[in-house]
Amino acid sequence: MKIVYFTTAQQEDDFRSFINDWKISLNPSNQNFHNKLIRALAVNNEVHVISVRPFSRSNMKVKKLDKAVKTEGKITWHYVKRSGNKFYRAFVTTSQIMATLRTIDTTDSIFITDTINRALVEAVYKIKKKYKRPVLGVCTDSPSNISGTTRSYTLFLLKHTKDYDGYLALTDSLNVLFNPEGKLSYIFEGVVEDKMLPKEEAKKPYIFFGGALMEKYGIYNLIEAYKELNQKDLELWICGHHGNIHKLTEAVGGNKNIKLLGLLPVSKVMEYEQSALCLVNPRPFSEDLDRFSIPSKSLEYMAMGRPVISVRNTILMNKFPKEVIWIPSSSVKDIKEGLQKVLDMTEVERENFGEEAKNRVLALYSIKSVGMNIQSFLLNFLK
């Protein structure tokens, strides 16, 4: 089987180079999820990725992104050209995607696309009419949960994705939202890395958080909870995409035990995660997030074999009731109590707790497991 995957994601090394072209910090969450799903699909299939990389004339150091083709095992990455102002890009992006698609033999192929990017959705809407191939949508979040989106943006996406042939969704609620006619669907909560790196002993024990460093995701409450612990021999390591580096630096307040590590490669993040005392996801609870969004960071952490502290999520709590230290909210008090539970464990207890979570999450969500599980679903569309 051959898969053509429409996305804004890139090959990992290309993304690392790509972020250096930006004047602002990029949020890599979308990149990380789709990159892992693409690799999961490549377990059993040849995958051609048509990538429409984000571009901004005002926020980038370069004036254009050239088209390029790169092969990585069973994956071929096709990067379309990006240049000009947003009106020019909106006009030519679909034609560039179409031109790239003509270079690919689409016989016996399935088309898979991200459902929350307007440029991709608009292009695939036209492609579906021209190519008689099954089209599946990947539903990772409600458009209304994305910062800066409007009601018209949400309505456009839902209108132009409701006629796909099938759906890959992270929650039942997302499937209902994008798939009102109840077509074939596959629900899975995420994908986690399954290639562990050598573990290094830390010179000093540390709590680790890597993700979006913005107030709405709980980072400032985590910093305050750590400070209130007043553990001089325990550090807090923070990495990821920041919203306001000046505010973040002020929150740290010169505390030498709090390390701001910047945006790191996936391999380095995994190395730090595997050696941490514990891993914390302080993302606040909300009804909309609970229905439509999976805290992918919590799944990622569970695969690292260290104790995980996470604000409650209904779906993951039902699947992993004892494998995570679930806290009721992202308040300073609740985060602090979660951290204290880890500190009260012996190291043997921490290792056993982390390993049990790791074994369970890899069995369900590793790249290989997801690739094998999705395969039988995909075969429904080639009958």
| Residue 180 tokens, joined | 């009102």
Evaluate whether 238 touches 260 at the Cβ level (below 8 Å).
yes
pLDDT in tens, 172-181: 999 999 999 9
Q: How confident is the model at residue 311 (pLDDT cuts 50, 70, 90)?
A: very high
Q: Where are the domains of the chain?
A: 2-191+366-382, 206-365
| Residue 175 tokens, joined | 């499937």
Q: What value does the mean pLDDT take over residues 315-327?
A: 97
Q: Is the pLDDT of residue 198 over 80?
A: no
DSSP letters, 89-144, are: HHHHHHHHHHHHHTTS--TTEEEEEESS-HHHHHHHHHHHHHS-S-EEEEE-S-GG
pLDDT in tens, 13-31: 999 999 999 988 888 889 9
pLDDT in tens, 59-72: 999 999 999 999 99
CATH superfamily of this structure's domain 206-365: Glycogen Phosphorylase B; (3.40.50.2000)
H or E element: which one contains 31?
helix 29-41
pLDDT in tens, 28-49: 889 999 999 999 999 999 999 9
Domain 2-191+366-382, what fold? Rossmann fold (3.40.50)
| Residue 215 tokens, joined | 């107030």
pLDDT for 101 equals: 96
Q: What value does the mean pLDDT take over residues 286-308?
A: 94
Query: What is the reported pTM?
Result: 0.94
Of 223, 227, 206, give the one whose Cα is nearest residue 215.
223
Of 103, 111, 141, give the one whose Cα is nearest residue 47.
111
pLDDT for 51 equals: 98
**CATH topology identical between 2-191+366-382 and 206-365:** yes
pLDDT for 194 equals: 85
Q: Is the pLDDT of residue 346 over 90?
A: yes
Evaluate whether 31 touches 12 at the Cβ level (below 8 Å).
no
